[in-house]
Structure 1
Amino acid sequence: MRRLLSAVAMLILLTSACGEDTLAAGTYDGPLAAEGRQGAAHRVVECDDAPTGGNNYPGEYDNGALSDEPEAALRTAFDEAQITGVHDGYVLVREDDDRALFTFTDAGRVRQALIVHDGEAFGKEGWYVESWARCDYAELPAAVAERAGVEIWFDADGPVSTRRVHSADGPEHCGWQHLTFLSLGETTYVRDADTEYAEWTDAPYDSEADLPPHAVDTGFHRDGDHLWRSPDGTRAYVGNREKVAVWPRTKDGFTCA
């Protein structure tokens, strides 16, 4: 097995991007190799909501290139968009045979964990991210969600899980970057829908309208805008009590492949 670098030398990225809390190392005494959808990394993170992640154990890695060193495997995984979340500030907290555990800690809690493995894939040997897990974007530093293009909403208690509500620009590879999609639970609304997409929405988009008296207050807000929706769920109203934009609900099939 290739010799792992020391913990100090493997502070792979500058921690200044996310504050001194990134230097705090999480502890985990369980196995670094584990089956299941998210693998051992899922057991390391300390999240309020259910974590997101993935697992390539056992020997199922076919997602991208292999790396010569464990820290390089992290960069490869991010460069190839294999994983999402925090890009900077990881610390090596444990070495276990041919595996190594990196964690990102914020406010004293492990918010993202990556386990790299020195194994075989494509008939070659090298390092790759075997399992990873992260907390919801609402539990990560604000700059992380901003970098990912995810807009976090708030309620009276603070940031709200993206499983409940979030908004983001549409994907560039479909030419939808001028659209903004708002997910409210299992319902999706869209801002600035072109007329060519009118058949995929339940109502027209209106950039300026009066707030209907029957609008249902969701309690969510961000950047000075508040969020209401119609009683039948076909429209979302984003703005203030003076004026709102009317976002229509999207129909099934309005997706980007």
Structure 2
Amino acid sequence: MTRNALHRSVPVVVGLLALTACGSDIPDGLIAEGSAAPATPYTGPLRAKAPARGEDGRLRGGGAALLALECAARPYEAGAAADEGAGDDGADSAAGALARYAGDGSEEMPVRGYRAEAGRGHRVLYSYDVAGRTRAAVVVAEDRRGWFAETYASCDPSEFRARDRARLPVRVWEDAHGRAVSTAKVVSWRGAEHCDWQDVEFVTLDRGDDGRRRGRQYLRDARGVLADLDGLSSTYAEDVPLPSDAVDTGYRDAGRELWLAPDRSRAYVRDADGTVERWPGTKEQVACQ
């Protein structure tokens, strides 16, 4: 069943792009210029009871934004936007609210390439489309204070365009053929600055698509910030030989290759120049509080 199968009688507001994309505070590229209307425009509700789909904690609160998605796989993330219900004044326009939300960078969402797909009353749906299908959505709403982002939802970041994946706080890896790999299989990111972990890179394999903290995790810690962490399988080391029995995962990132020890206790990352680093595995998922 398509996303609109139950809502075909609801009209779509025409001309939203022209009405909501003006203003000096709108970053270049936030609104896709000259984007064609989708083959099947979203005609569902712009306000929906949360959670809109299932009981998954990562998707709770996504409401109408979640309903608008057309993912190739399971939706990745959804919820109420951070500034919804905030005490300060809202933006002067729907596009201004989208710009404020996208500029915050707190979610793993695209920061450009949206278009106004539907509008009704005091709400506008902005969609980020790839190959004619909605991979991310933000619903903005107007109240007496102005316009605010209300709900958001996205597909897995591997479904975004390559240039937009490069702007995310997480790294989306590719397979040996250059195709983006789901973050449920492999994903990496830098540690949080407030824990002074910004120089530590984490990579997790097989964490699944249900958002739970699981899967095998490895870390690159050249400064030794986490050297005393309990449960590390080894130490970090650079310029080491690649063991003859190491297993190639097939995952690639900007010329890097990810290999594993046969027992998956350690990872080996080989750069484009052939230099190999040993990354220790962790006993449990490591997170900055």
1:88 equivalent among 112, 119, 129: 112
In the alignment, is the contact (CA less than 8 A) between 1:118 and 1:125 conserved in 2?
yes
**CA distance in structure 2 between the partners assigned to 1:110 and 1:213 by the alignment:** 44
CA shift for structure 1 position 237: 1.0
CA shift for structure 1 position 247: 0.6
In the alignment, is the contact (CA less than 8 A) between 2:116 and 2:125 conserved in 1?
yes
CA shift for structure 1 position 19: 7.5
Partner of 1:98: 122
CA shift for structure 1 position 240: 6.6
Partner of 1:252: 284
* Residue 169 of structure 2 is aligned to residue 146 of structure 1: no
- Structure with bigger RCO (C-alpha 8 Å, 6+ apart): 1
Aligned counterparts, 1:24-173, within 5 A: 24-26=36-38, 27-35=41-49, 36=51, 37=60, 38-56=62-80, 61-62=84-85, 65=88, 66-119=90-143, 125-156=145-176, 158-173=179-194
- SS of the residue aligned with 1:8? helix
In the alignment, is the contact (CA less than 8 A) between 1:51 and 1:136 conserved in 2?
yes
* Residue 215 of structure 2 is aligned to residue 191 of structure 1: no
- SS of the residue aligned with 1:195? coil
Equivalent residue pairs, number: 247
CA shift for structure 1 position 204: 0.4
In the alignment, is the contact (CA less than 8 A) between 2:21 and 2:31 conserved in 1?
no
State TM-score, norm by structure 1. 0.82
In the alignment, is the contact (CA less than 8 A) between 2:126 and 2:137 conserved in 1?
yes
Structure having the higher helix fraction is 1
**CA distance in structure 2 between the partners assigned to 1:31 and 1:102 by the alignment:** 13
Partner of 2:10: none
Matched residue type, 1:144: D
- For the structure 1 residues 222 and 82, does the alpha-carbon distance in structure 2 shift closer, same or farther, using more than 3 Å as the test? closer
Matched residue type, 2:190: D
**CA distance in structure 1 between the partners assigned to 2:76 and 2:183 by the alignment:** 11
CA shift for structure 1 position 193: 4.2
In the alignment, is the contact (CA less than 8 A) between 1:237 and 1:246 conserved in 2?
yes
**CA distance in structure 2 between the partners assigned to 1:25 and 1:172 by the alignment:** 41
Gaps of 5+ in 2: 1-13, 52-59, 207-214
In the alignment, is the contact (CA less than 8 A) between 1:25 and 1:91 conserved in 2?
no
* Residue 265 of structure 2 is aligned to residue 234 of structure 1: yes
Q: What percent identity do the matched residue pairs reach?
A: 34
In the alignment, is the contact (CA less than 8 A) between 1:14 and 1:89 conserved in 2?
no
**CA distance in structure 1 between the partners assigned to 2:122 and 2:173 by the alignment:** 41
- SS of the residue aligned with 1:226? strand
**CA distance in structure 2 between the partners assigned to 1:80 and 1:228 by the alignment:** 35
- For the structure 1 residues 238 and 252, does the alpha-carbon distance in structure 2 shift closer, same or farther, using more than 3 Å as the test? same
**CA distance in structure 1 between the partners assigned to 2:29 and 2:91 by the alignment:** 26
**CA distance in structure 2 between the partners assigned to 1:150 and 1:236 by the alignment:** 19
**CA distance in structure 2 between the partners assigned to 1:23 and 1:245 by the alignment:** 44
In the alignment, is the contact (CA less than 8 A) between 1:10 and 1:91 conserved in 2?
no
Matched residue type, 2:228: E
CA shift for structure 1 position 62: 3.9
Matched residue type, 1:103: S
In the alignment, is the contact (CA less than 8 A) between 2:31 and 2:115 conserved in 1?
no
CA RMSD for the aligned pairs? 3.1
Structure having the higher strand fraction is 1
**CA distance in structure 1 between the partners assigned to 2:176 and 2:106 by the alignment:** 34
